[in-house]
Amino acid sequence: MIDGRPLLFFDSGVGGLSVVGPTRALLPTAPIVYAADSAGFPYGTRTEAEIAARVPALLGRLVERYRPRLVVIACNTASTIALPAVRAALDLPVVGTVPAIKPAAALSTTRVIGVLGTKATVRQPYVDDLAARFAADCTVLRHGSAALVEMAEAALAGTPPDPARLRGELDGLFGQVDGDRIDVIVNACTHFPLLEPEMAAVAPAGVRFVDGGPGIARRIAHLTEGQAWPAAPGPARLVFTRLGTREAAIGARLGDHGFAPAEEL
């Protein structure tokens, strides 16, 4: 029996599309609703209290409207701050986003890794815990960047990032003590994989980037194993909490990638 309930992906902006891609590769016919809190964007510069109050309330509205089978908080900042509250509030599976420190430590030969996220994410005790559990023998350097989030959003709206600005943001990691030894960077914001080719072009040779997208996709596939899906994929729904000029431009570009016209919550 066909089950038309969607997977609901949530982020402050369009970064969570870096999680949607690997998920579509594993579950190609899964109905998808992608919701971006454009009215609250960017989360990385908001306080923990603002995010902790906003995210569960907003996801409650989205779940009521779209009746998903599973929710994916495709945002590191929202996950590190609001995931427990969301899970307590919703009576369905909720998958969070974890900075990929464990796979980065497994890849590193220099034992110096960088964690590149929003300022709100990189200062969380949760990141301390991941580093202690999975990278105890590594030096873990962190840098929070709001500019990279803005550049990723602008790139998806049609404005390519400036290589000099990208290099300047990466210098926030490489300019630290031992930063010249970094050989793996964790993209600890789902926006950043959208800029990975451009960042790799301005980073020192040999530096690799890792993110949690593929691991999240595998987790979604595991949690929905055995469930029925439509026989063929339909257009993904794209929802913004505020549908302004930039959001309309992003929606227009995503129309070529299997998304229906953008709608406003």
138 is catalytic: no
Reduce the DSSP state of residue 244 to 3 states and report it.
coil
Phi-psi region of 258 (alpha: psi -120 to 50; beta: other; left: phi over 0): left
Q: Where are the alpha helices (DSSP H) in 33-122?
A: 48-66, 76-89, 101-107, 119-122
Residue type, 254: L
| Residue 185, SS3 per DSSP | strand
Calpha distance 123→254 (Å, rounded): 32
From the list 131, 152, 189, 217, the catalytic residue is 189
Q: Which of 148, 152, 193 is nearest to 167 (CA)?
A: 148
Residue 42: asked if its preceding bond is cis (omega within 30°), the reply is yes
Catalytic entry in 19, 75, 151, 243: 75
Q: How far apart are CA 132 and CA 145, in angstroms?
A: 23
Active site residue 189: yes
Q: Which residues of 117-149 are buried (b: 16+ CB within 10 A; e: fewer)?
A: bbbbbbebebbeebbeebbeebbbbbbbbbebb
- Active-site residue set: 75, 189
